[in-house]
Amino acid sequence: MAEKKIILTEKEREALNSEYRHLIDVERPDVIEKLQLARSQGDLSENADYDAARDRQAQVEARIAEIENILNNAVAAEEVAGSTKGKITIGYTVTFKEGDEEVTVKIVGNVGADPLAEIPSVSNESPLGRALIGAKKGDTVHVESVEPYDITILDAQK
């Protein structure tokens, strides 16, 4: 079965590569050093330092494998977007009106969402992301969620 393609913007790819290098070059050697130190203390059956180092090693190795999987199955957002002729796609920052409130979000690939960022980013696979993809400035779109709602797109910029 083929792996699902993961859509990444260039910024997301750079962030993952940076995290990957940090894990390989800094975290992994640090964990190995802590394991060696803990082993040198003798009996491993009741060695809390050893247990903590093994737990950290498992976390680091799992994240390394996860990043490798993401990068191996990644497609550039620009390739997916293709020719959109003014339509919203991944990488756009969109301002819309929901009721009386104006909201601005950035649409990102399926691993880069950060709702707590200064300008919140939403995945292209989220209900809001799916509703915005393919729409244009001035459109009113319906967002299918637990409580569906309509929004009017005020601005959309690449």
**Considering the domain 6-77 in this protein, what is its CATH number?**
1.10.287.180
Torsion sign, CA atoms 6, 12, 13, 17 = negative
Class in CATH terms, 83-157: alpha beta
> What 8-state DSSP symbol labels residue 26?
I
pLDDT tens figures, 8-33: 888 888 989 999 999 999 999 999 99
What does the pLDDT read at residue 2?
53
- Report helix, strand or coil for 48: helix
Residue 16, classified by CB atoms within 10 Å of its CB into exposed (0-12), middle (13-18) or buried (19+), is buried
Q: Whole-angstrom Cα distance, residue 110 to residue 116?
A: 16
- pLDDT < 70: residue spans in the chain: 1-3, 44, 78-85
String of DSSP letters for 62-75: HHHHHHHHHHHTEE
Inter-axis angle of helices 48-72 and 10-22, nearest 10: 150
**What's the pTM?**
0.67
Reading the block at residue 64, the tokens are 């390394």
What does the pLDDT read at residue 1?
44
Residues of the chain with CATH 3.10.50.30: 83-157
Among 87, 132, 106, which Cα is nearest to 9's? 106
Radius of gyration in angstroms for the set of CA atoms belonging to the chain, rounded to a whole number = 21
